[in-house]
């Protein structure tokens, strides 16, 4: 096994795992989520190849998904490169980010998902999985709550809610009423706690990806009291933050 560090770039969107396995080997928890799936990374993401740990499986590091845990990827998803150049990340306009999220209404929820339509290369690389009953999961089709914003912002925002709670600036207390919040909220402001994020598309409408419903819109007046209650039940602090420059 090689332990010589080098660099590579992803050739397409790709599953990033927390165990040295292939996508078709992953196990599921009680909520039908792949336990070993960390996220889906974008095409042309720079990878540091730390060590080859099995045939075709590499431990990697990447600035686009900082993690204290070990991360792994199948070598089919990347090409080695001689010079470590980071992907150029351009933030779309506020209107473009909102419009991208709106177009995703109805997309299924998928834990770890940040590429809503799935990864076609998975079927190309592993054609034997085509008859599996969980094919939508295996090709990583769908998007989770923080993945929705991550995808729409082209990877400008942090990938996980544990980072989003510190992202941008605090704009108000979470104890406000819906009516009070409507006077403050701007498009792309986020209502977030460790575990879930909801994104404003206007002063009175929010969008989110929910486990039971996928990507849905809700009136702020209805959804915000539900969110306040959920965060309290989960003993989580609720944050309302503005991040768009």
pLDDT (tens digit, 9 = 90+) per residue, 137-147?
999 999 999 99
Average pLDDT, the chain: 95
First to last CA, the chain: 45
In 35-125, alpha helices (H): 94-103, 121-125
pLDDT for the residue 226: 97
**How buried is 171 (Cβ within 10 angstroms: 0-12 exposed, 13-18 middle, 19+ buried)?**
middle
Q: Give the whole-angstrom CA distance, residue 40 versus residue 199.
A: 20
Query: Could you state, in order of their start, the residue ranges of all structural domains in the chain?
Result: 6-81, 158-242
pLDDT for the residue 209: 98
pLDDT for the residue 23: 95
Q: Does 239 have pLDDT greater than 90? A: yes
pLDDT (tens digit, 9 = 90+) per residue, 99-110?
999 999 999 999
pLDDT for the residue 4: 67
pLDDT (tens digit, 9 = 90+) per residue, 206-223?
999 999 999 999 999 999
If you classify domain 6-81 with CATH, what class do you get? mainly beta
Q: Does 2 have pLDDT greater than 70? A: no
Q: Does 58 have pLDDT greater than 50? A: yes
Q: Is the distance from CB of 161 to CB of 146 less than 8 angstroms?
A: yes
Please, what sign has the CA dihedral across residues 70, 211, 156, 89? positive
CA distances from 210 to 70, 107, 109, 145, 151 (A): 28, 10, 6, 7, 16
Residue 1's pLDDT band, with cuts at 50, 70 and 90, is very low
pLDDT (tens digit, 9 = 90+) per residue, 169-209?
999 999 999 999 999 999 999 999 999 999 999 999 999 99
Q: Does 6 have pLDDT greater than 70? A: yes
pLDDT for the residue 141: 97
Residue 3's pLDDT band, with cuts at 50, 70 and 90, is very low
């Amino acid at each position: 096994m090689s332990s010589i560090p080098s660099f590579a770039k992803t050739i397409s969107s790709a599953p990033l795992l927390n165990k040295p396995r292939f996508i078709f080997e992953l196990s599921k928890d009680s909520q039908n989520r792949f336990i070993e799936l960390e996220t889906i990374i974008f095409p042309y993401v720079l990878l540091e190849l730390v060590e080859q740990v099995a045939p075709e499986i590499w431990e990697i590091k990447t600035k686009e998904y900082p993690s204290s845990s070990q991360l792994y990827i199948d070598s089919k998803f990347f090409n080695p490169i001689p010079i470590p150049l980071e992907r150029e990340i351009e933030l779309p306009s506020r209107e473009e980010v909102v419009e991208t999220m709106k177009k995703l209404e109805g997309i299924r929820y998928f834990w770890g998902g940040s590429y809503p339509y799935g990864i076609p290369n998975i079927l190309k690389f592993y054609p034997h999985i085509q008859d599996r009953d969980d094919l939508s999961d295996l090709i990583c089709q769908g998007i989770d709550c923080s993945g929705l914003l991550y995808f729409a912002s082209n990877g400008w925002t942090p990938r996980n809610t544990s980072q989003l709670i510190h992202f941008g600036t605090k704009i108000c207390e979470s104890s406000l009423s819906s009516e009070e919040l409507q006077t403050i909220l701007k498009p792309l402001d986020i209502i977030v706690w460790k575990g879930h994020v909801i994104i404003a598309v206007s002063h009175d409408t929010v969008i989110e990806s929910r486990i039971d419903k996928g990507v849905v819109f809700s009136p702020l007046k209805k959804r915000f009291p539900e969110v306040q209650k959920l965060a309290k039940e989960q003993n989580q602090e609720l944050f309302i933050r503005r991040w768009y420059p």
